[in-house]
């Protein structure tokens, strides 16, 4: 294998970053960026989890004097906001970053530098959000920040402005990432991987990215109008001057409901990858699952109004949107049936990823049911803004996001670190999380029936909510311990785990054909794909006797046609650079300057951003001119 | 038994392949898609605020003479930009590209000038802080203005590269992208003129 060894050396040399601090800041390697994404998102999970613990301590009994009302509001807002925006979606972006190029046999993303930019702006937006509690005033309007409560009259503190600007920066990051993933999935798939052979994770990820591209502008619009009102005295949401607070709700939920699918769909895609491998058979109803995924994304745009059933809307439109909300659960049901059928007809192996996948299915069924319940309008009137809703969102979010994410971590970390996770710790991890869910968050539904409103910082003993709340806090504690054991396991196994080998699970998709961890250049030869399960069929992916898919003339990967993935073009890739980082910093500065109304400084940062982008786009050598 | 992938070409790939130029266009179209959505939502806000009023605009209907001049400038500039682009695409004519882009940029500057004059007049009768109509009027038009500036920056960038002699018949993706964006800016203005400037005169405003 001397020839192969030199090929390995040559490719390594082409693709490596300088082994110093510059190399770390300048890297545009999707594997490193993906891992950073995952680690950063988990850090946000822990921070927001800590905030949750503070809230649960406050609510453990009646009239506890641990947090003030204002502190509770701020912590609750930070918890919800961080979880929804800086953990749930970014962690999926992290997996997508790491996995998508490997799943399609490409060597990097379509726009590697944009990818680095996406990560840096994600990080900086989180930093921006967390500057506000350091200044002693965090946002306080809940994660959906309804006006008029969040306008400059009722919330004059600067925290709300940090909320708005950090979210705008995050929007830039998320949109850039979406564009990048779409271009990657539709341009860089290995020859032969036509769309009907794509792993389901690619279906769910690409659907999600389209949803992002078309729904996030609503958030941007809502926030821009809010800041114009707050900082510059405009009147969009001001009913005293022909404005309308309901405009915020319209815009926010036009974005907000698709967002629920943004943090749910990729997770279902991961389950559709993990489950068949541990059932030792292809997924049942591939086409149905793929179709249901796309339709969920589409119909998800039609359900935003169901968040406003209590605001008084025309009867007909309420009927329409209630219908759309119920339709969407049909698509989820299709997926659930496909998973159950896969388990039923397969030979399930109960390894850690499988446990979490099963836990996910159970929780999503419960959460889905309570969701359909709130789509029934009279029911929603009754339980709107009670703990029933808090229970529902946690079942959906934890069930549909945290559990799949843990399944994915147990499944793919061996690829990333080269070590298998400890199975004993995994079982504790799962058992405690699942018990905690049932004890803590299921009880919240009952607390809701007992009439406890959400977002209250304390209650009196006479209310009769004491026992339920105590149980919830205990359950939350169990859940948190479970999560911490999982995180301990990741560190522990990274050091002491057994070597994973290329394909520890005997899985079917391309990422498992490389060594664990994969070499910096990804694949030695661009593979060809002959079926939905490249590693299970007899076709040899890397068979290339004439060295035609080596592509070692500089940083290169293969581009193919969008639908059928016919071999066609050489895609050149840029070298490492700190420009994305600089651009991200300039945007960060721009946000801060606008926030403090320092217009000249803002102009300076805008010019800096433009210069950085121009430098970025200017071809560094004749070869790169497209 | 091994299954044969999509086509024979995949099994026996060509020894040399052309360079890929499709990614950039995907990126630009998606960027335009998300931006178009942003404007669509602002128009939605405009109509939403209008829906609860008996009178909209709240005071005078906006006069549209400047808006139409601006429209004429932008439409002309779009044609000039296409002319420039076709020069490089069909004839590999770098000179025509540079001249065309230069002219487009001049028209862009003219747009900024006329918009400046329009705002000066407008601000005497309507302020963004007056009421919601003022807010939405200035937000939409100035957001468009910001897009004109971004489009001009893109064109300037491409112009500079044209002067540096980067483009030829095969390689001119950046030109394509910048011109595409410029058309987008143009189309948005057509919507603004129809919705904000012209339509009030038709539904019997003031
Ligand atoms: C560690 C486990 C968790 C605990 C103990 C917990 C606890 C809580 C509590 C006590 C509230 C406040 C309810 C209220 O006063 O109305 C809350 C709100 C919320 N939580 Fe969690 N949570 C946890 C994990 C999560 C996760 C993983 C997510 C999302 C991925 C999440 C998303 C939210 C959201 C969106 C809200 C609503 C905030 C608002 O009302 O604006 N939580 N949570």
Beta bridge partners of A557: A571
What's the confidence (pLDDT) of residue B12? Answer: 58
Name the nearest CA neighbour of A231 among B9, B128, B120, B146.
B128
Residue A145 has what pLDDT?
85
CB B110 within 8 A of CB B90: no
**CB-based contact A174:A196 (threshold 8 Å):** no
CB distance A391 to A454 below 8 Å: no
Cα separation of B169 and B91, whole Å?
Answer: 7
pLDDT at A563: 85
Stretch A263-279: mean pLDDT, rounded? Answer: 93
pLDDT for res B8: 46
pLDDT of A66 reads 92
pLDDT value at A237 more than 70: yes
Distance from CA of A145 to the nearest CA of B (A): 18
Interchain pair A194, B157: CB under 8 A = no
Sign of the alpha-carbon torsion through A275, A277, A283, A286: positive
Top pLDDT among A51 and A257 is at A51
Separation of CA A510 and ligand 1 centre (Å): 37
The two three-digit tokens of residue A382, written as one number: 């009754």
What does the pLDDT read at residue A2? 46
Q: Across A328-418, where does the E strand assignment appear?
A: none
Q: What is the mean pLDDT of residues A384-395?
A: 86
CB contact under 8 A, A191 and B13: yes
Question: In terms of pLDDT, which residue wins out, A149 or B99?
Answer: B99
Average pLDDT over residues A471-475: 95
Cβ count within 10 A of residue A482: 20
The chain A residue lying nearest B129, using CA atoms, is A234
Q: Any idea which of A120-129, B29-38, B50-59 has the lowest mean pLDDT?
A: B50-59
The full set of domain ranges for chain B reads 17-53+64-201
Q: Do A617 and B11 touch (CB under 8 A)?
A: no
Task: Please report the pLDDT score of residue B1 as a whole number.
Answer: 31
Q: Which pLDDT band holds residue A207 (cuts at 50, 70, 90)?
A: very high
A56 C-alpha to center of ligand 1: Å? Answer: 10
Distance A455 CA to ligand 1 centre (A): 10
Task: Residue A334: name the closest of A425, A386, A272, A421 by CA.
Answer: A272
Q: Rounded distance, CA A283 to CA A466, Å?
A: 46
Residue whose CB lies within 8 A of the most ligand 1 atoms, among A83, A91, A469, for a mutation test: A83
Calculate ∠ Cα A221-A224-A228, nearest 5°: 140
Q: Is A104 helix (H, G, I), strand (E, B) or coil?
A: coil
Closest residue by Cα to residue B154 from A610, A575, A147: A610
Residue closest via CA to ligand 1's atom 9 equals A52
Length of chain A in residues, anyone?
A: 626
SS3 of residue B169 by DSSP: coil
Angle between helical axes of B23-51 and A200-232 (0-180°, round to 10)? 50
Q: How confident is the model at residue A168, as a pLDDT?
A: 97
Indicate if the alpha-carbon torsion angle A479, A485, A487, A490 is positive or negative: negative
3-state helix, strand, coil split of chain B in percent (to 5) is 75, 0, 25
For residue A564, give the nearest of B6, B12, B131 by CB distance. Answer: B6
For residue range A327-350, what is the model confidence (pLDDT) as tens digits? 777 888 899 999 999 999 999 999
For ligand 1, which residues put their CB under 6 angstroms from it? A 49, 52, 55-56, 76-77, 79-80, 83-84, 87-88, 142-143, 390, 393-394, 397-398, 401-402, 454-455, 476, 479-480
Q: How confident is the model at residue A325 (pLDDT cuts 50, 70, 90)?
A: low
Cβ separation A213–B33 shorter than 8 A: yes
Question: What pLDDT, on the 0 to 100 scale, is given for residue B118?
Answer: 95
- A238-261 pLDDT, tens digit per residue, is 888 888 999 999 899 889 888 888
ipTM of the modeled complex: 0.92
Q: How far apart are CA B161 and CA B163, in angstroms?
A: 5
- What is the average pLDDT across B96-105? 96
Asked whether the beta carbons of A370 and A388 are under 8 A apart, the reply is yes
Q: Label residue A114 by pLDDT band (50, 70, 90).
A: very high
What integer pLDDT is reported at residue B201 of this predicted model? 85
Encode burial over A557-585: b for 16+ CB neighbours within 10 A, e otherwise. bbbbbeebbbbbbbbbbbbbbbbbbbbbb
Structure-block tokens of residue A134:
């350091």
Q: What is the tens place of the pLDDT at every residue in A360-382?
A: 999 888 777 776 676 666 667 66
pLDDT, average across residues A479-493? 96
Instruction: Compute the half-sphere exposure of residue B144: CA atoms within 13 Å on the CB side of its CA.
Output: 29
Which of B6, B37, B135 has its CB closest to that of A236?
B135
Q: How far apart are the C-alpha atoms of A226 and A144, rounded to whole Å?
A: 12
Confidence label for A1 from pLDDT (cuts 50, 70 and 90): very low
Ligand 1 center from residue A144 Cα (angstroms): 13
- Domain at B17-53+64-201: CATH architecture: Up-down Bundle (1.20)
Identify the three-state secondary structure at position A567.
strand
Give the CA angle between residues B143, B145, B146 to the nearest 5°.
65
The pTM for the full model equals 0.93
pLDDT of the residue at B4: 45
Contact A573, A555 (CB under 8 A): yes
The closest CB to that of A220, out of B31, B33, B38, belongs to B38
Looking at ligand 1, which atom is closest to the CA of residue A483?
1
Of A52, A88, A476, the residue with max ligand 1 atoms within 8 A of its CB, to mutate for a pocket test, comes to: A52
Task: Specify the DSSP class assigned to residue A570.
Answer: E
Q: Which residues of A touch B133 (CB under 8 A)?
A: 242
Residue B1, chain A, CB below 8 Å: the answer is yes
Residue A176 three-state SS: helix
- Asked whether the beta carbons of B141 and B178 are under 8 A apart, the reply is no
Of A214, A229, A570, Cβ closest to residue B33? A214
Q: Which residue has the higher pLDDT, A203 or A239?
A: A203
């Amino acid at each position: 294998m001397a020839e192969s060894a030199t090929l390995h050396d040559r490719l390594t040399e082409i693709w490596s970053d300088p082994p110093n601090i510059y190399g770390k800041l300048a890297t545009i390697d999707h594997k490193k960026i993906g891992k950073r994404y995952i680690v950063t998102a988990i850090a946000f999970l822990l921070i927001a989890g800590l905030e949750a613990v503070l809230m649960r301590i406050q609510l453990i009994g009646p009239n506890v004097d641990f947090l003030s009302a204002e502190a509770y509001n701020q912590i609750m807002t930070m918890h919800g906001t961080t979880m929804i925006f800086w953990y749930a979606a970014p962690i999926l972006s992290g997996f997508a970053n790491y996995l998508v190029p490997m799943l399609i046999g490409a060597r990097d993303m379509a726009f590697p530098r944009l990818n680095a930019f996406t990560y840096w702006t994600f990080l900086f937006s989180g930093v921006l959000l967390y500057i506000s509690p350091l200044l002693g005033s965090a946002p306080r309007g809940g994660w959906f920040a309804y006006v008029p409560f969040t306008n400059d009259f009722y919330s004059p503190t600067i925290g709300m402005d940090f909320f708005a600007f950090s979210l705008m920066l995050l929007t830039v990051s998320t949109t850039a990432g979406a564009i990048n993933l779409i271009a990657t999935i539709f341009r860089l798939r290995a020859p032969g991987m036509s769309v009907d052979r794509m792993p389901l994770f690619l279906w769910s990820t690409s659907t999600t990215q389209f949803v992002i591209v078309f729904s996030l502008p609503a958030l941007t619009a809502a926030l821009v109008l809010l800041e114009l009102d707050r900082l510059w005295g405009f009147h969009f949401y001001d009913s005293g001057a022909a404005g309308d607070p309901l405009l915020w709700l319209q815009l926010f939920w036009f974005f907000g409901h698709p967002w629920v699918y943004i943090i749910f769909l990729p997770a279902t895609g991961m389950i559709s990858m993990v489950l068949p491998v541990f059932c030792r058979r292809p997924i049942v109803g591939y086409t149905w699952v793929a179709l249901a995924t796309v339709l969920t994304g589409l119909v998800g745009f039609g359900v935003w109004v169901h968040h406003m059933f209590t605001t008084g809307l025309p009867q007909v439109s309420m009927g329409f949107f209630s219908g759309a909300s119920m339709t969407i659960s049909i698509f989820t049901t299709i997926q659930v049936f496909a998973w159950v059928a896969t388990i039923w007809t397969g030979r399930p192996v109960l390894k850690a990823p499988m446990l979490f996948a099963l836990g996910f299915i159970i929780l999503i069924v419960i959460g889905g049911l309570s969701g359909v319940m709130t789509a029934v309008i009279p029911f929603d009137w009754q339980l709107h803004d009670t703990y029933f809703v808090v229970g529902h969102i946690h079942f959906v979010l934890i069930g549909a996001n945290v559990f799949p994410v843990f399944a994915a971590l147990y499944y793919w970390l061996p690829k990333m670190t080269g070590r298998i996770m400890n199975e004993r710790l995994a079982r504790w991890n799962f058992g405690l999380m699942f018990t905690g869910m049932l004890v803590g968050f299921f009880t919240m539904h009952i607390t809701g029936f007992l009439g406890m409103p959400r977002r209250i910082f304390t209650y009196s003993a006479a209310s009769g909510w004491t026992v339920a709340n105590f149980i919830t806090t205990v359950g939350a504690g169990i859940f948190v311990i479970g999560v911490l054991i999982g995180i301990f396991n990741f560190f522990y196994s990274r050091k002491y785990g057994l070597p994973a080998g290329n394909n520890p699970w005997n899985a079917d998709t391309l990422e498992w054909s490389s060594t664990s961890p994969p070499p910096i250049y990804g694949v030695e030869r661009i593979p060809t794909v002959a079926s939905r399960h490249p590693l299970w069929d007899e076709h040899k992916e890397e068979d290339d006797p004439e060295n035609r898919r080596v592509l070692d003339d500089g940083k290169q990967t293969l581009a193919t046609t969008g639908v059928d993935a016919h071999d066609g073009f050489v895609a050149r890739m840029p070298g490492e650079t700190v420009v994305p980082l600089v651009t991200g910093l300039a945007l960060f500065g721009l946000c801060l300057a606008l926030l403090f109304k320092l217009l000249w400084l803002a102009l300076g940062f805008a010019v800096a951003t433009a210069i950085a982008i121009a430098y970025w786009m200017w071809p560094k050598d004749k070869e790169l001119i497209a | 038994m091994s299954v044969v992938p999509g086509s024979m070409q995949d099994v026996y790939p060509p020894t040399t392949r052309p360079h890929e130029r499709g990614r950039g266009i995907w990126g630009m179209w998606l960027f335009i898609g998300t931006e178009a959505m942003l404007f669509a939502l602002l128009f939605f806000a405009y109509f939403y605020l209008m829906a609860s009023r008996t009178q909209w605009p709240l005071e005078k209907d906006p006069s549209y003479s400047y808006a139409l001049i601006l429209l004429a400038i932008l439409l002309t500039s779009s044609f000039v930009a296409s002319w420039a682009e076709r020069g490089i695409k069909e004839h590999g004519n770098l000179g025509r590209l540079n001249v065309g882009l230069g002219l487009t940029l001049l028209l862009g500057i003219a747009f900024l000038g006329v918009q400046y004059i329009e705002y000066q007049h407008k601000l005497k009768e309507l302020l963004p802080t007056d009421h919601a109509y003022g807010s939405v009027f200035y937000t939409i038009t100035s957001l468009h203005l910001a897009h004109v500036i971004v489009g001009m920056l893109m064109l300037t960038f491409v112009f500079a590269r044209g002067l540096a002699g980067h483009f030829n018949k095969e390689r001119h993706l950046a030109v394509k992208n910048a011109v595409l964006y410029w058309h987008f800016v143009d189309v948005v203005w057509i919507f603004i003129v129809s919705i904000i400037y012209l339509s009030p005169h038709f539904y019997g405003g003031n």
